[in-house]
Structure formats: structure tokens, C-alpha cells
Amino acid sequence: MINVFQPDLGQAELAAIAETFASNWVGYGPRSARFEAEFAAHVGVPAESMIFLNSATSGLFLAVDLLGPGPGDEVVVPSQGFVANANAVLAGGARPVFCDVDPRTLNPTVSDVERVLGPRTKAVMLLHYGGAPGDVVAIADLCRRRGIPLIEDAACAPVSTVDGRRVGSFGDLAVWSFDSRKIITTGDGGMLYVRDPDLARRANRLAYHGLQDRSSFTTAAKGARRWWDLHLDEPGRRLIGNDMTAAIGSVQLARLPGFVRRRRQIAQAYDDLLHDVGGLRLPAPLPAGHTTSHYFYAVQMPEPVRDAVAEELLGQHIYTTFRYAPLHRVPIFGGADLPGTDEAARTTLLLPAHQSLSDAEVRRVAEALRTAVERRLVPARAG
Ligand SMILES: *Cc1c(COP(=O)(O)O)cnc(C)c1O
């Protein structure tokens, strides 16, 4: 079976786990703090602004909670987003208001976002589809002018940049995911970035029960009398990561440039192998100054062909998929009229693009796709 996503773990990750075992410190501790500092340096933001959590979803829920929406408040979310984007808004007591996307890039344009802003807009949540930065610069600018906080979901975009600046650092809050299907994985895990230092301290408290001081994780509570007393201003949850997963994360982060180099090669190979397949649209080229993390390789074709091609490839043990089933079609999230999102959902298919694919596997996927597409599209066009 050729998977569409899969983890890339090896001896170095295993050694990092063994070292953590030997230290007998498996909860949040020095390895978690080190991973936060390394990831912050990678993004180009202060270490204190980065919090290692048990998932990106926890980060999205916490981000919404930090902004404190009230009943009737709205958070703008692309319908072409992950279910946790809308769940976090709804669970936080606000209403998700869905914006449309460009059907070619599956990212919203600044006018898609601007169209749905209103007097009750409490925040904008922006996803970087498949790692492509999208219109983040203009959207961040729009949010700043209107005084609306921007939450970036950079789950798929660990290395993406615009003019050398990392995606995730344009807004006020951001998350990255280390789920088992992402480019780098810790099994489960995520990072939350909080730009404002006071808000970052509050996020740290809310990520661990609301307790004021997490230093007891890394050092003994020196000097404090009755260090077991509780100091709590508001209730929190239990969302933090641990040193087992952080140890894996440090190794994966060091390997990330190599992972993305391989993914870029695979995308280039698909471009070369598939550019002349009639009726097939390859990923739109990125704007100047943008780089992607190459998480998705998304091709497009007419709807009935897309579904039949996916089934035919599955029969040949090649797994393809589509992300993300539109959120505005989910009844509990409420409806909207979003033609770009609907078109993208009808036509888009993601090919296997993970870094462990061999050149032969990439060729096999491309050949199978060409055969399946041309059988359905080329005679119809000729005749
Ligand atoms: C995977 C993903 C998430 C969720 O990440 P978890 O770490 O599994 O919670 C959120 N947003 C997007 C866009 C994702 O692809």
C-alpha cells in the first residue's frame, strides 16, 4: 500500500526516547522546554511565546478561550478547514462564520475574509492549505487595521515562508501540529504561539489547570514555604505536552529541512510526470516570495472523474484522499453559500507526497493516475 500520509521515524528518535526513559523524567520538563525554545528559534519568535501542547487542537481551543468571545460573537473560519477550527469556535461560545476560498489554491483571498467581517467579529482563524501561505500578509494587515486578532492554523506549514518570514508569525496566535500524519510528528503534539507576553503567561496557566507556576516541573519549588499551596485565578485545563514526545520532536525538527527537501523533489517529479495529462490540473504556482512545506500535492479534475480515479487507485493499493470536507455543509456549524469551496471539494484529490516515498513509488502513482484519468477524459474530449 502506498500511503497518502505516514510518519518518518528512525533510530535517532528511538535513542531520544531511551535517553528520556533513562532520565526517569517523562512528564513536562527540560526536554519540553528545550523543544519549545528550538521551535521558537525555528519560527523566529521568543522562546517564552511558544507552548508545547498535547495537540494542535488543544492550541486552537485555548487560542479561542484566550480571546474570550461572548454569546453572539463571531469568528471567521475558512469552510475549507479542519473540523477542529469550527469546533474550537463553537466550544469557545462563539459562532463560526465561514469564508470562501479560491477554488484553485483552496486558500481564502483577503476579499473572501473581508466580505464576512462584521461588527461581532471577534477573531479571524486562517489556515495555510497544504502548507501554502496564501494571502496571509494582506489578511494580517486587514486584521491589524480593524483591530481583530488573527489566529494562524499553521498545522500543515512548519517551514512555509513569505519573503523569508515564517508563516505562523504574521498573526497574534498560531498553532502547529505534530499529529502522526503531519510532516514532523511526536505521535500526538502541537505548539501554540502567543505573541503578547502577558497573554502567553495566561496561556501557560490555562494549559495547566490555571496554576500560576509551572516551574515546579523543571526545578524544585525553591525558597517557597508550603510549595503545595494552590495559587489559582481562573480555572484551566490540562493541555501540556510531555518530555517523551518533546524528545521525539527535537529530533524530528532537526530532520525537518531534509524532509521538506525530499517533499519538494517529489512535487517536482509529479509536476514533470503529470504536466501533459489531458484534463488534469496541477497545483497552482506559488506567488513570488512564497515557499510551501509541500504537505499536500493537490490535483484537480472534473467531479465524476475524481471519485472514480480515487477508487481505481485504491484498487491498485494507492491511497489518495481529499482534505478538508467543507465545514459549512455540517449542520451543527450552520450553512453558507460558498461556491469556491464547493467547487474545490468536488474536484480536488491529494496524492501521496510524504518524504518516505521512493522514486519508483512516485512514478507508480503518476502512471496509475495518468492511465485512470486519460481513460475517462481523453476519449471524451476527442469524440
Ligand atoms: C492536523 C490538523 C489539525 C489538528 O492537529 P492535531 O495536532 O491532530 O490536533 C489542525 N488543523 C489542521 C489544518 C490540521 O491539518
74-102 residue pLDDT tens: 999 999 999 999 999 999 999 999 999 99
Query: What are the tens digits of pLDDT across the range 356-381?
Result: 999 999 999 999 999 999 999 876 55
Mutate to test the pocket of ligand 1, among 153, 181, 296 (most ligand atoms within 8 A of CB): 153
Q: How many Å apart are CA 15 and CA 32, to the nearest integer?
A: 16
Give the pLDDT mean for 245-266.
98
What confidence category does residue 53 fall into, taking pLDDT thresholds of 50, 70 and 90? very high
C-alpha cell at 301: 479534475
Range 325-340 average pLDDT: 95
Q: What spacing in Å lies between the alpha carbon of 253 and ligand 1's midpoint?
A: 17
CB-based contact 364:2 (threshold 8 Å)? yes
Atom of ligand 1 nearest to the CA of 190: 7
- Hey, which residues does 232 pair with through a beta bridge? 211
Q: Kindly report the protein residue whose alpha carbon is nearest to atom 8 of ligand 1.
A: 179
Q: pLDDT at residue 212 above 50?
A: yes
Rounded CA-CA distance 336/257 in Å is 39
Mean pLDDT of 7-21: 98
Q: Residue 168's pLDDT is what?
A: 98
pLDDT in the model for residue 190: 98
Q: Residue 379 has what pLDDT?
A: 63
Q: 56: CA distance to ligand 1 center in Å?
A: 6
Q: Is the pLDDT of residue 342 over 60?
A: yes
Q: What is the pLDDT of residue 334?
A: 85
Residue 226 phi, psi dihedral angles, 5° rounding? 45, 65
Strands (E), 112-246: 121-127, 150-153, 161-162, 165-166, 173-177, 190-194
Ligand 1 site residues, Cβ closer than 6 angstroms: 55-57, 82, 84, 127, 153, 155-156, 177, 179, 190
Residue 298: pLDDT above 80? yes
Report the residue among 61, 101, 182 best suited for mutation to probe ligand 1: largest number of ligand atoms under 8 A from its CB.
182
CA of 279 to the centre of ligand 1 (A): 31
Cβ proximity of 223 and 216 under 8 Å: no
What's residue 383's pLDDT? 44
* Per-residue pLDDT at 218 exceeds 80: no
Angle between helices 359-382 and 243-274 (to 10 degrees): 40
- pLDDT above 90 (res 220): no
The rounded distance, in Å, linking the Cα atoms of 260 and 255 is 9
Indicate which atom in ligand 1 lies nearest the CA of residue 59.
Answer: 9
Ligand 1 atom with the smallest distance to the CA of 156 is 15
Mean pLDDT, rounded, for 39-59: 98
CA of 163 relative to ligand 1 center, distance in Å? 25
Q: Domains of the chain, with CATH numbers?
A: 11-252 (3.40.640.10), 257-382 (3.90.1150.10)
In whole angstroms, give the CA distance from residue 234 to residue 226.
Answer: 21
Integer CA distances (angstroms), 344 to 79, 140, 294, 303, in order: 11, 24, 18, 10
Question: What residues contact residue 285 under an 8 Å CB cut-off, 6+ apart?
Answer: none
Q: Which atom of ligand 1 is nearest to the CA of 84?
A: 10
